[in-house]
Amino acid sequence: MNPGSAAPRPSNRSGRKPVCIPCIPAGRLYAWIAVLLLGAVIAGCDSGPAPSLYDPDRASAPDPAITSISPEGFALAGVDVVTIDGSNFSAQASDNLVYFNEVRGEVLEASATRLQVKAPATPGADIEVRVAVLGAENYSNGIAYRLEAAVEPFGDIAGFEEPFSIASDPAGNLYVSMNSDNRSVGVLRMAPDGSRSPFVESTFIWTGMAYGADDMLYTVRSVRAVFRFVEGGRQEVWGVIPDNSVRLSAITFDPENNLWAGGNNAHIYRIAADKSVEAFPFEANVRALRFFEGYLYAAATRDNASGIWRWPVSGGRAGEAELYFDVTGETGAEALALAFAANGDLFVGTNAAEPVLLVAPNGQADVLYPGLFMPAATAFAWGASPNLYMVQGRTDTTPPGLLRINTRREAAE
């Protein structure tokens, strides 16, 4: 090698181009390094197959089975507690899932052979009841059962309609004073199947109605007169209170066909069949009147307190008034409607959040069918037993409506 000449290059005997790390782009180099490191980590962590969550030795609980459901035949949806007898249930209530078709009922009590379940508020004629138990692989057998409606809309009331007072005849037809688009269309007659037909055309809202033994409809509308209608529209003034200041808003008949009337006045009034009038002192705002077993009952507000008052009645004359039930004191609400069952149970409509009270003859009061009504209950009329019709009055949060209630009771005569 001559001085000053370049150093000889190493030979490449393989004939391949040498790999020069500096010639590899930095991004690709880092990717290769990451892949190599990941492979090393995976290889280092490989200690055999992971354990399975499935335990082949775990035994499932036995499948539940249903043998019977009571009450036999049917229960009231959203009201009744249904008893399911069978086997392989859990004694822990929350471990049992009871389905009425696709809707779960609330399990209240449980043992290995019996479940107590609150029926859901979903009526149906052919509902399959099944039970699932946590830990068991399969549902129970299904049993067909019927849930009847405890409360249901009636009469196909449209959004622009508003019912006010109601009355019924012995055939079970319902008479409804109806507003449509904020004006009265008169009185409609609704058959027990809900079909409707005009009974009387009228421009007035009737605040109280009663069906007479003469098959005529008697009405009041916050004036001092009582009106009488026959089908087709003929109207007559049947009775008049002499005092011009009187305003009548509620009426009812007693067994002797005397008509009793009240409103926001200083008296209640009896109008006999011969149309003679007698006044009995009672300064209050009377919202509803009913007669039952020798007593006249009134839902009324006086001295800023609402309650149910009653008078013993004999020979068309009322005795001394007594407070029968203190609605405001018991509930803080106002009594608006009354209806008696044959056994003496009194239905009281109010403007409370749970608007229907059931007052027993001994004075014990309970809410009827909690959770199934919206306020307010402003009028009642019996249909064919056990059905009681109710006007759901308009409030700030509740639209007006008409409901049919299965009371499981016979109507008072």
Q: Assess whether pLDDT exceeds 90 at residue 413.
A: no
- Among the ranges given (15-19, 292-296, 327-331), the one the predictor scored with the smallest mean pLDDT: 15-19
Q: For residues 176 and 162, what is the distance between their CA atoms, to the nearest angstrom?
A: 10
204 pLDDT tier (thresholds 50, 70, 90): very high
* φ/ψ of residue 195, rounded to 5: -65, 145
* H or E, element range at 393: none
Q: For residues 395 and 350, what is the distance between their CA atoms, to the nearest angstrom?
A: 12
- Domain locations in the chain? 65-149, 151-406
* Residue-level pLDDT at 58: 67
Q: Assess whether pLDDT exceeds 60 at residue 31.
A: no
User: Do the domains 151-406 and 65-149 match in fold?
Assistant: no
- Among the ranges given (46-60, 152-166, 194-208, 399-413), the one the predictor scored with the smallest mean pLDDT: 46-60
For 151-406, the fitting CATH number among 3.40.50.970, 2.40.50.360, 2.120.10.30, 2.102.10.10 is 2.120.10.30
Q: For residues 262 and 362, what is the distance between their CA atoms, to the nearest angstrom?
A: 26
- Among the ranges given (15-19, 200-204, 326-330, 354-358), the one the predictor scored with the smallest mean pLDDT: 15-19
Q: Assess whether pLDDT exceeds 50 at residue 118.
A: yes
* φ/ψ of residue 30, rounded to 5: -65, -35
High-pLDDT (> 70) share of the chain, %: 85
Name the amino acid, one letter, at 89. F
* CATH number for the segment(s) 65-149: 2.60.40.10
- Cβ neighbours, 10 Å, residue 181: 9
* Residue-level pLDDT at 56: 62
Q: Assess whether pLDDT exceeds 70 at residue 26.
A: no
Q: What is the DSSP string of 288-332?
A: EEEEETTEEEEEEEETTEEEEEEEEEETTEE---EEEE-HHHHHS
For the entire predicted model, the pTM comes to: 0.84
The pLDDT tens digits for 302-312 are 999 999 999 99
Q: How far is CA 395 from CA 127, 158, 300, 391, in A?
A: 35, 16, 20, 12
Residues whose CB is less than 8 angstroms from the CB of residue 244 and which lie 6 or more positions away in sequence, other chains included: 224
* Residue-level pLDDT at 57: 62
